Amino acid sequence: MLNVGTGNKAVALAARDARPGVVAAYPITPQTEIVEEIANQVGAGNLDARYIPVESEHSAMAACIGVAATGTRTFTATSSHGLVYMCEMLHWAAGARLPIVMANANRALGPGWNIGSEHSDSLSMRDSGWLQVYASTVQEAYDATIIAFRIAENENVLLPVMINLDGFLLTHITQAFESVDPSGYLPDINTPHAIDINNPGGYGTLTANTEHFKFRHDIMKGMKNSVPIIERAEEEFAKQFGRKYGMTEDYMAEDAEVIIIAMGTLGKEMEVAVDKLREEGIKAGSVRVRWFRPFPDLKEKFEGKDLIVIDRDYSFGFGGILANELRAKTCCDPYSVIAGLGGQDVTYDDIAVFVRDRKPGEEFWFGVSE
């Protein structure tokens, strides 16, 4: 079905179409429209689910954990300070191997107070055990939400998934998107360790030092197993609905001598910049990293190329998070550009300048004079 709406509406309709049994949520800008629309869908009878309006984001994730532990499909959404308020329960959800799906509207963390887009909120949770995918269009936000349930609930993964969409730049932009009937794509949820009142067990109990590391190792295996599961889930989605995705979205990268790398909505700006640079005779290409956890294998793709990494985030005392992930995984030394924090405007013309003025191995803060 063809729809016209914002990224927030697309995620809400995808959650409706995935048929969760429970949605527990607390509003926060710029995510609020997601949970409002889901509440409307429940109220109108379009979604047969229990909607729980809790008193905080911590409580929202705690409720989702309780529900998911019973083997029920569960969804929530948050943003920024709401996400970090959930921090304790995010680790709990992954540690309990619960396939919760959550949308996060990427927004800067204060102070100073700012509601513009920034990836620092989700990337601060990169080691929590959640899978993370970053969307760049309204259609992709819808599709990624549907696909996330299939991945999370796979018995070889059983880890929660976070769908990230740039605050306002994607949450509030209006585009046409197609919704689908995923009933033939999403099987009924089957959580093998779900609570069974006829077979009581212990949950969240104290683990000794002879056992705890094994639970951590199991999370590692689930994350590692997710790579082929993601690939199969996206291939099957393409077969059924005609839209193909991958661990990255590449644009004219195969023969490129210089590649621009970023996540989220900057991906589309990069493509326009590539077209502009090609007209100038610069063999540029772009790679938008979609899946940050698990992190894609990019070593062969980037070998022998000049790299410009644009980070809408920063790890203080370390540098751009995406740039340093790439350094660790590929041994490359990219030109690290810090740009777009707090919703700072970054155009394709700006990106083209980053390419022309690149200095491999150096860090550059866009808009700051030192």
Does the pLDDT at position 298 exceed 90? yes
For the stretch 110-157, pLDDT in tens is 999 999 999 999 999 999 999 999 999 999 999 999 999 999 999 999
Rg for the chain, CA atoms, rounded: 20
In the prediction, which pLDDT does 95 show?
Answer: 97
Q: Which residue has the tokens 């619960």?
A: 98
C-alpha 366/C-alpha 357 separation (Å) is 12
User: Are 204 and 281 found together in one domain?
Assistant: no
Which among 286, 225, 227 is positioned nearest to 255, based on CA atoms? 286
With b for 16 or more beta-carbon neighbours within 10 A and e for fewer, the 206-231 pattern comes to eeeeeeeeeeeeebeebbebbbebbe
Q: Which of 241, 262, 286 is the last residue of a domain?
A: 241
Give the domain extent around 305.
248-365
Helix (H) or strand (E) run with residue 40 in it: helix 32-43
For the stretch 302-338, pLDDT in tens is 999 999 999 999 999 999 999 999 999 998 999 999 9
For the stretch 3-21, pLDDT in tens is 999 999 999 999 999 999 9
In the prediction, which pLDDT does 228 show?
Answer: 98
Q: Which of 241, 258, 287 is the last residue of a domain?
A: 241
| Model-wide pTM > 0.95 | yes
Domain count, the chain: 2
Share of the chain above pLDDT 90, in %: 97
List all residues 6 or more positions away from 24 whose beta carbon is below 8 Å from its beta carbon: 51, 52, 54, 59, 60, 61, 63, 64, 67, 74, 76
Classify residue 370: in a domain, yes or no.
no
User: Are 109 and 184 found together in one domain?
Assistant: yes
Does the pLDDT at position 290 exceed 90? yes
Q: Which residue has the tokens 């609570």?
A: 195
Q: Which of 187, 208, 241 is the last residue of a domain?
A: 241
Classify residue 173: in a domain, yes or no.
yes
User: Are 159 and 266 found together in one domain?
Assistant: no
Q: Which amino acid is at 247?
A: M
